[in-house]
Structure 1
Amino acid sequence: MKLLTASLLTFAWPLAAQAEIIVTDPWARASVLASRPSAAYLTLTSDAPDRLLEVTSPVAGHVMLHGVATDSAGVTRMVHIEELDVSPGTPVTLAPGDSHLMLMDLSRKLEEGESFPMTLVFEGTGDVTVDVPVLGPGAMGPTEERP
């Protein structure tokens, strides 16, 4: 059984290494203070199985991937996620009120109208760096209607 598993991994790895990750609609919310975290959102699409392992940005001491979980009493809370699987043809959207990226230990306050780089590290694809525009503190996304 171990030999079969090793063989499958040997053949699967080159396929994962050829995955193309497409990142759409990256954005973050402006922060109230540099001492308070902010959140970033985006959508990931891949043409082959891959896994998001890490996210970094020069504006944050560390970036955490958070999901949401509801317990048996109906209480919903954030939960830390170590890795995020991306399946072919199935977009993974990180959005307000759902899974998101927490920008912790900000080096400075994030101001509406600016942008910053963020690097997503995938198991197969490797590093993908995106430019993340900063929207207002109450924004719900880059495509929302403006008054």
Structure 2
Amino acid sequence: MIRTLIPLAAVAALLAACSNEPKPVAAGEQAAVSVTGALCRPTPVGRQSTGCYLTLTSTAADRLVSLSTPVAGRVEIHESRIESNMMMMRELREGLPLPAGQTVELKPGGNHIMLLAVTAPLTEGQTIPLTLNFATATPVVVQATIGQPPVDEYGTHTGH
């Protein structure tokens, strides 16, 4: 009887993990964050910084607090906004809030990731690892593709 219950519990846990529906996180449990569409722009000749974009969904309220990658000396979470009719960018030192069950998109012209002090040129088609660290969720490692974000019919870069 016990042998049957353990495999059934494991199957139930696997099925729950595969579901796309956000699940409430019980007290004492950790949030889980899904990451999709990780993309970093190629580095222009002579530049050692670039932007990265991705989409995050957390099962519980959390915060993206930091990132790392072996290809950059520093990684920052930034926001872009218009101030005095100029596009301004600043680091989100406290991290990026992730509301429970809501999709948070990091995209051109909005919140995004900056790779600084890039150690070697990043070229189209290459992939690089990004480690995302959260206030409560387990860190997530993703492979980001190096490429250009999609362009809309007006020639402006869009999200994923």
Instruction: Return the TM-score normalized by structure 1.
Output: 0.78
Partners in 2 of 1:87 and 1:56 — Cα distance? 22
Q: CA deviation at 1:70?
A: 2.3
Partner of 1:104: 116
Shift of 1:80: 0.9
Q: Structure 1, residues 27-68: CA drift from partner, whole Å, max 9, x if none?
A: 111111364311110000011011111100000001111101
- Match in the other structure for 1:140: 149
> Among residues 65, 76, 93, which one is paired with 2:77 in the alignment?
65
Q: In the alignment, is the contact (CA less than 8 A) between 1:27 and 1:141 conserved in 2?
A: no
RCO comparison, higher one (Cα < 8 Å, 6+)? 1
Measured on the aligned residues, the alpha-carbon RMSD in Å equals: 2.0
Query: Who is 2:57 aligned against?
Result: 45
Alignment partner for residue 14 of structure 1, among 28, 41, 45? 28
Compute the TM-score of the two structures, normalised by the length of structure 2.
Answer: 0.72
Which residue of 2 is the match for residue 124 of structure 1? 136
Aligned sequence identity (%): 33
Equivalent residue for 1:81, pick from 92, 95, 98? 92
- Alpha-carbon spacing, 1:69–1:52, altered in 2? closer, same or farther (3 Å): same
8 Å contact from structure 2 (residues 48, 119) kept in 1: no
Q: What is the aligned partner in structure 2 of residue 26 from structure 1?
A: 38
Alignment gaps of 5+ in structure 1: 1-11
Greater strand share, structure number: 1
Larger radius of gyration: 2
1:38/1:103 contact within 8 Å kept: yes
Unaligned runs of 5+ in 2: 1-25, 152-156
